[in-house]
With several copies, the nearest count.
Chain A
Amino acid sequence: MADEEYRRVDGRKVDELRPIKIIPSVLSRAEGSAYIEWGQNKALAAVFGPREALPQHIQNPTKALVNYVYRMATFSVPDRKSPKPGRREIEISKVSGEALEKAIFVERFPNTTIDIYVHIFDSNAGTRCAALTAASVALADAGIPMRDLVAACAVGRANGKIILDPCKDEEDASDAVDMPLAIMPRTKEVVLLQMDGLISKEDWKKAFEFGLKGCLEVYEIQKRALKHRYEALARTEQKAIKAVDKQLMDAAESLER
């Protein structure tokens, strides 16, 4: 069947993302935060810093450390996960932090650490991309200066089709390929790339291009979420300004009397 007509297990087209919802500024105690829903995936991201890196011997005098911690709640997967972080979580934390490093102006904050924490509360494939996408919005929400957002999306293969944003059933196909990808959208530089599966170079290329397209769509959603937030903030500020104005006018009035 032609790619255009093919419908996936959940009704999506081959190059269609699942619904994505991002809300910045959801956790009051973090300096920046974001909530993301990406299909069934649900995650919260929080950012703290730049703050002094401790113990001192880990400090880098030329740049901020990017400390990314990705964790899954015990109940966020079909079989209960142990509360202890597993090797998968450690690896994802490492490559995700590295993916953000290029986007952040780390050189402006020597000897500090920027701590990024993401917790997954529900999952159905693609959590590392959802987490990274949310983390990037949380960084912007924290006001940390960045070259660009980082937008992430997985791409893969199932049942002979190259598909964007595979869901769990598709990841379990016998010919499954899974390739999490993250880019800085303005330059299309690849900052995260992992792959498992067995694939020819031709198929890989097609998948990669699907992935780029997916990341660009995610980027639009990220920007929209931040824009909404800024507009809301602006409205709140506007109201605050109006309230102050009113107080001033009342005060002026009372003085006149």
Chain B
Amino acid sequence: MRDDILWELQADKVKDYLRRSQRLDGRALTDYRPFTLQLDFSKNAHGSCRVQLGKTDVIVGVKMDVAEPYPDTPDEGSITVGAEFTPLASPVFEPGPPDQNATELARVVDRCIRESKALDFKKLVIEEGSKVWFVFIDIYVANDCGNLFDASSLGALGALLNTKVPKLEDGKVVKGEYAGRLEVSKMPLLTTFAKIENSIVLDPALDEEKAMDARLSIGTTEERLISAMQKGLGGSFKQAEIEQCIDIAFEKSEELRDGLRKALKG
């Protein structure tokens, strides 16, 4: 309750600043907060990555498992993205199955990766029609200080780039042995904007999220292609605003990609 009032005051301050084109934390409107990446965070995962974007903290792990293909795509494996807003991450999250916010997050991260064709699902076939790889990407939000979309998408891509394919013997996974890296041919990432009154800011921090009317996430690849879009919340965007966001997304997502490339080199 009291918390709500504090956030409201903070949101008012965010708006005041933005009317002067300033952000409370001093960033330019299209700046990302500083971020760090920790690849291979979990040894039991086949791939994993912890992302800290400002104070937002997200841990993503990948497990590959053998399963039957979907009946309508017998010659394809697939990915499955899950997201859990753990109760560690915020005083308002509660333990329990994913709510609609977590479901939306997981599905948008899924589309950003899936539609970019960074993973060739046909290469995930082990035995056509009966055995394929399923790539489970599970996102755990450990601290929510805003912009879970970009942090999760970055973590998911990091975890995939870090993924080793388990070794198979007689169609069964041999524990702890690997047959090489998962092939990830592109670097699709989400870039998220908040619309606050008439301003648009990139990578909204938590107080900016409390002030925002609408949210726009754009999935892009390094080839300057769009792989996903998602508008959220009760506000609206104009066509010109969206077009501008697309350009910024192409540009600013490269900073995340560079960070990732650096982390991969060690």
Contact of A204 among B114, B143, B226 (CB under 8 A): B226
Is the CB–CB distance between A98 and B234 below 8 Å? yes
Bound-state Cα–Cα, A29 to B89, Å: 6
Taking A69-B95, A184-B236, A194-B229 as contacts, is the C-beta distance between A29 and B144 under 8 angstroms?
Answer: yes
A130 within 8 A of B: no
B140-190 interface with A by 8 A CB criterion: 140, 142-145, 175-176
**Contacts A91-B103, A119-B86 known; A101 to B234 CB distance under 8 Å?**
yes
The interface residues of chain B lying within 8 Å CB-to-CB of A194 are: 229-231
Instruction: Find out whether the CB atom of B237 lies under 8 angstroms from the CB atom of A190.
Output: yes
Contact of A189 among B95, B111, B175, B236 (CB under 8 A): B236
Interface of A with B (CB < 8 Å)? 26-31, 33, 40, 42, 44-46, 48, 51, 66, 69, 71, 73-80, 83-85, 87-88, 90-91, 93-95, 98, 101-102, 106, 115, 117, 119, 121-124, 179, 184, 188-201, 204-205, 208, 212
Q: Which of A78, A123, A208 has the most CB of B within 10 A?
A: A78
**Is the Cβ of A191 less than 8 Å from the Cβ of B236?**
yes
Tell me the chain B residues, 58-76 only, with Cβ under 8 Å from chain A: 59, 61-63, 65, 71-72
**Inter-chain contacts of B243 with A (CB < 8 A):** 201, 205
Chain B residues in 8 Å Cβ range of A94? 100-101, 103-104, 232
Interface residues of B, CB < 8 Å — how many?
Answer: 69
- The verdict on B246 contacting chain A, using a C-beta distance below 8 Å, is yes
List B61-110 residues whose CB lies under 8 Å from chain A: 61-63, 65, 71-72, 82, 84, 86-91, 95, 97, 100-101, 103-104, 106-107
Most buried by A among B57, B88, B115, B233: B88
Report the bound CA distance from A196 to B226 in whole Å: 8
- The interface centre, meaning the residue of A48, A85, A87 with most chain B CB atoms within 10 A of its CB, is A87
Q: How many pairs of residues, A versus B, come closer than 8 Å at their CB atoms?
A: 190
| B104 and A95 contact, CB distance less than 8 A | yes
B88 close to A76 (CB less than 8 A): no
B224–A179 touching, CB < 8 Å: no
B145/A29 in contact, CB under 8 A: yes
User: Which residues between 111 and 135 of chain B lie within 8 Å of chain A, taking CB atoms?
Assistant: 111, 114-117
Asked whether, in the complex, the Cβ of A80 is within 8 Å of the Cβ of B226, the reply is no
- B41, A91: Cβ atoms closer than 8 Å: no
Say whether, besides A46-B88, A90-B103, A193-B231, A123 and B44 are in contact (CB < 8 Å).
Answer: yes
Task: Tell me if B100 and A93 are in contact (CB < 8 A).
Answer: yes
Whether B117 contacts A198 by the Cβ 8 Å rule is yes
Q: Assuming the A-B contacts A198-B116, A198-B221, are A75 and B226 also in contact, with contact meaning beta carbons closer than 8 angstroms in the complex?
A: no
Whole-angstrom CA separation of A48 from B143 in the bound complex = 13
What is the CB-to-nearest-CB distance from B169 to chain A, in angstroms, rounded to a whole number? 16
- Asked if A75 contacts B246 (CB within 8 A), the reply is no
A76 & B226 in contact (Cβ 8 Å cutoff): no
Q: Are B232 and A98 in contact (CB under 8 A)?
A: yes
Across-interface contacts of B238 in A (CB, < 8 A): 188-190
- Contact between A95 and B116 (Cβ–Cβ < 8 Å)? no
B54 to chain A, nearest CB (A): 9
Compute how far the CA of A57 lies from the CA of B45 in the bound complex, rounded to whole angstroms: 39
Closest to A211 in B: B239
Asked if A179 contacts B229 (CB within 8 A), the reply is: yes
In the complex the two chains form, is B231's CB within 8 Å of A192's CB?
yes
Closest B residue to A27 by CB, please name it.
B143
A87 near B106: Cβ-Cβ < 8 Å: yes
B138 at the interface (CB under 8 A from A): yes
> Shortest Cβ distance from A64 into chain B, in angstroms?
11
Q: Which of B46, B231, B237 contacts A95 (CB 8 A)?
A: B231
